[in-house]
Structure formats: C-alpha cells, structure tokens
Amino acid sequence: MTRRQRGGRPRRLPVRFPRMPGRRRPRGLPGLLVVVLLAIAVFYGRWPAPPRPDPDLHAPGAYRVERVIDGDTLLLANGLRVRLIGADAPETVHPEHDVEPWGPEATAFTERFVAGGEVELTFDGQRTDRYGRLLAYVWVDGRMLNEELIRAGLATAETHYRFSEAVKLRFEAAESEARLAGRGIWAE
C-alpha cells in the first residue's frame, strides 16, 4: 500500500492492527520491548536478581589460615591471599630479592600469632591491592597482627596508604615504641 507523495516518491501508509477491546496497544519498539521483558519476568516468576558481591571479598569475619607466606602475607583456606594493611615486613619469598634481615623472624612471629588457624578479618578502604591480595586487619583474640608485628620491630608502619587515620596513629605509636626499645629491625 503506497501512495505517491509530491516529487514522485512513494509514501508508505501505516499498517493498522485491529484494536482489542479494553487493551491499549504499546506503541513502537520501546513498547514491544516492555511487553517482551514483562513476559520474561512473568515466565520466570520474578525479576532478575541483582549481582551479589563475592562474600569472600567483602565480608569481615572469621577465616581459616592455610599457611603464612611471609611476615605480612597470609594464605587463607579458601585460596585468597591477605596482605596486612599498613605493615611492611622484610621479604623472605620475593622472587627478585634475597631474604632480607629480620624477614625469617617476622614470618615466625606471624606463624606463632596465627597458630590456632582462625583469624578475624576487618577491612578499611580499598579491599585489594594491585596483586589481587585482600587488604585487611588481621585479629586474633582481640589483638591486631598488623600492629603487634610493628610493635615487635618486625615491620615498618606504612602510613602513606589510604586507611583510617586513627589506625595510622596506632601504627606510628607502635613503631616509635619499637624504635625506642631497639626491637627487631631497629636493633643496633
């Protein structure tokens, strides 16, 4: 069905569908899309659920430690690695570095600290580092491993990262205490 417009080009006439009594017909592609989506929702009996975050990455709570990698890194039983927020222990397993002084002692300290295997993780700001490790505070019986490692002189306080200012002050105080006492890396 076409008619000629001025200029000689054919013009298409709209196709009219019969109207059903009591129902309004959606107009155009957006209306058709709405009808299709509603039909799918009715067919499945619910709207699609929003994606849920991975609970291992976002839920503070109790976790089982598989093993200690080095003084400031743990491997959890679920396969995730945890890096202590704000504490930097000497290296023991870095592929491009030799074992650093006090590194084995830091690793042994962390192994003793988490000896029971159960730890509590809490998060503060960024959840993972550039290597995909969880960034967390590690707690055992109400004591924070991050802070105790620094207080023992087996890690330095790394306060230039983004995390709680109150915790940064705790870490700086722990490092000052270790320096004054000449513990670990501060021994001379």
- Closest by CA to 135, choosing from 143, 119, 124, is 124
Asked if 119 and 41 count as a contact pair (C-beta separation under 8 A), the reply is: no
| Separation between Cα atoms, residue 181 and residue 4, nearest integer Å | 98
Catalytic residue (choose from 25, 52, 66, 91): 91
CB count within 10 Å of CB 13 equals 9
Catalytic residue (choose from 83, 147, 148, 175): 83
The tokens describing 148, both together, are: 């105790």
Contacts of 34 (CB under 8 A, 6+ apart): 26
- Does residue 91 have an active-site annotation? yes
Question: DSSP assignment, residue 141?
Answer: T
| Separation between Cα atoms, residue 115 and residue 100, nearest integer Å | 23
- Does residue 133 have an active-site annotation? yes
- Does residue 83 have an active-site annotation? yes
Catalytic residue (choose from 133, 147, 158, 175): 133
The tokens describing 25, both together, are: 């017909």
Q: How many CA atoms lie within 13 A of 12 on its CB side?
A: 3
Which positions are catalytic? 83, 91, 133
